Amino acid sequence: MKFAIWGFQKETEIAQHVKEILDSLISDGHELYILDTFAQLLDLNYPEVHPITEGDIPKDTDFIISIGGDGTLLSAAQAVMRAPIPILGINLGSLGFLTSLERDWRSEFNNILNGHYQIEERMVLNCRLEFPDGSEETLWALNDVVIERADVFSLLPLEVRVGDKMLNRYQADGLIISSPTGSTAYALSAGGPIVDPCLDAILITPISAHTLSVRPVVLAGDQNIYIKLSDDSDHARVHVDGKNTREIDSSIRLRIRPSSYRIQLVVLPENTFYDKLRKKLHWGQRSG
């Protein structure tokens, strides 16, 4: 089998896990690749492992092994947005909603190599920035598109339309437009609902809205959402999966819709989304 190792953190614990994974896969005769910057960070010296850049992952790779946390997996997802390569996440961070394996990954990792896994396809958001000169830029998000104020001392006025219908004119610190996968990320912290990641839906969650009656909204997953700053003097920042950031003003319109791309996540049949909710959010446990 062919594996690509992915990460970007320089920590002793991560280096130890990466070396153990590489040693195991090399001994089993698999073909291995590793992100070049990751190998340099960890000072790895494995002649059998081929360094690659973010843009040249072999298309016939069986798995990308993401080693870190959810942020690392989101980075891997950006790299394979146009290629249906399954991502296997090993959580060495804190929460780990997107990853399948934890620090005690060894037995379950071997089970996956023996075919004991499932592939979940996750919805991706297409975020297009439309500029006044007619040009465009398109970005993709597995989790969310976050629009936040550039000026810390003022609320952000945002006009949101669903298709050709007005939804609302928000006054808030910002908006989170998320996929169901992203419902357990920033949107959850802002009071948004938890949505089953197998659904096709788009969530709009205001960040500290000025009016208490403004609540999160869940829309059908086939909608086109248009967002503009409604005040000519305002500026904002757009963050896509917490990685790609753009500055916008009232002359730029955002269009967010479902993408034709799908991200494939490797999951264990006995570790469902509902199991993760109970474990990660400590549901059913007494406090104190």
pLDDT mean over 102-106: 92
Tokens of 64: 């990308």
Alpha-carbon gap, residue 165 to 124, rounded angstroms: 23
Within 8 A by CB and 6+ apart from 286, the residues are none
Instruction: Write out pLDDT tens, residues 130-188.
Output: 999 999 999 999 999 999 988 777 899 999 999 999 999 999 999 999 999 999 999 99
Higher pLDDT, 78 or 94: 78
Site of tokens 């990792």: 109
Number of CB atoms found within 10 A of residue 207's CB: 21
Instruction: Write out pLDDT tens, residues 228-277.
Output: 999 887 899 999 999 899 999 999 999 999 999 999 999 999 888 999 99
pLDDT mean over 124-135: 97
Residue 96 has pLDDT above 90, yes or no: no
Among residues 273, 22, 258, the alpha carbon closest in space to that of 124 is found at: 258
The number of folded domains in the chain is: 2
Query: Is residue 285, in this structure, part of any structural domain at all?
Result: no
Query: Is residue 287, in this structure, part of any structural domain at all?
Result: no
The yes-or-no answer on residue 234 being catalytic is: no
Asked whether the whole model's pTM tops 0.95, one would answer no
Q: Can you give the residue range of the structural domain that contains 154? A: 124-260
Site of tokens 């996750």: 122
| CATH code, domain with 28 | 3.40.50.10330
Site of tokens 């969310």: 144
| CATH code, domain with 175 | 2.60.200.30
Alpha-carbon gap, residue 4 to 244, rounded angstroms: 23
Q: Are 274 and 247 in the same domain?
A: no
Query: Is residue 188, in this structure, part of any structural domain at all?
Result: yes
- Catalytic residue, from 43, 62, 70, 222: name it: 70
Query: Is residue 87, in this structure, part of any structural domain at all?
Result: yes
Q: Report which DSSP code applies to 75.
A: H
Tokens of 161: 């339309």
Q: Looking at residue 285, what is its pLDDT? A: 76
Q: Are 45 and 168 in the same domain?
A: no
Q: Are 154 and 241 in the same domain?
A: yes
